[in-house]
Structure formats: structure tokens, C-alpha cells
Amino acid sequence: MVDPKNWAARAFGHVTTVTREGALVRVIDTATWLWFHEMDFLSIHLLASAAHKTLTDITKGTGKDPWLGNIINQEMLTRGYDFLRHASRDLNIVLDLLPSTNLPLLCSAIDTFENVFGYRTPFMSVLMVAFVIALPGETPDQKAAISKLMSKYLPENTAIESLRKLQRPEFFAKTLPLFERGS
């Protein structure tokens, strides 16, 4: 239930109302942009963790839970987020965090977002393409799985080999227009 004070604040334009879906889009897209532009890994981790935890809560008991939480211990996934959220009074405590966890964390959040809300934003689609083309395809099973993922995330007639050679900012700039056309 919304407090009458909030209705008044809304009526006068003093507050902005944000849906959970809208908040998730903004957080995931911002973390994605930061990741592609090789910005601060801890900020990316905090945003990705917040989205992942929110989606974990939303999907609890629905069968749409984030897949990464079934592979990696939830506490390991969101260690940096919890480090700040549950702060110790010890000012000398440190955090050891693997920046490489950000990509799978974001991808898990994006996949779950799509399962819940039925779509991906162009930023989310670009990140999923980057994730899929970086996967190892050494065995026949891996190659088959990657092929299935490619058909889900990649527009037809996309030159994959040329994308693999790009650095993150250039990859983002070249790939985003493929998904903005349909938006």
C-alpha cells in the first residue's frame, strides 16, 4: 500500500516511481556498460550482485532460479556485495575478489531476467553474445551447446570470427547496433 504522502509527492513530481522490472533493467544495463568499457570491477560486481540477488528472491520456488546459483555457492558469487552490505567495524578488513566472476554473474542475471520478464534489452543481448563467443568449444558436446546458444543470442549472418578479435569497448560499439534495430 502506498502512503498518502507518496501520492502527493508523485503528484508534484518530487519522486520518481520505479518498478522492480525497471530497476533491474537499469542496474543490469549499467553494469553491462561498465563491463564493456572496462570500468571499476567492484562497481560492476555490486550492480550485478544486486540484480542477481533480487532475481534470486523473485524466482525462489518458481523453477526459474538463476542457473549460476546452482553451480557456484551463492555466497561466493556475491562476496563483494555482502562485504559492503554487512560491514564489519574492523576498518582493516580486506576483500579478495575475482574480477572474472562479473561476466558469469551478469549473464546469470540476464538469463533469469529474460525468463521472468520475457525479453532482453539490447545491452543484455550484446553481453550474452560476448559470453557465448568466449566459451570453449573443444568437445562435440561443447560445440553443440555453443551452437544452440549462438542461435538464441546471435542475429543471423553475424561474422563471429571478426567479433572474437575485438576488445570489449569496440565489441560493444560494433555489436550493439545489431540489437538496437529491432528495439
Pairwise CA distance, residues 123 & 134, whole Å: 17
Percent of the chain with pLDDT over 90: 42
User: Tell me, what's the pLDDT at 125?
Assistant: 95
How many helices (DSSP H) and strands (DSSP E) are in the chain?
Answer: 11, 0
Q: What global pTM score does this model have? A: 0.84
Pairwise CA distance, residues 172 & 35, whole Å: 10
pLDDT tens digits, 104-125: 889 989 999 999 999 999 999 9
Name the band, by pLDDT with cuts 50, 70 and 90, for residue 71.
low
* 181-to-122, 157, 177 alpha-carbon distances in Å: 9, 15, 6
* 42-to-22, 31, 48, 75, 101 alpha-carbon distances in Å: 22, 10, 10, 16, 11
Name the band, by pLDDT with cuts 50, 70 and 90, for residue 135.
confident
Kindly tell me if the per-residue pLDDT of 69 is higher than 70.
Answer: no
Domain ranges for the chain = 19-180
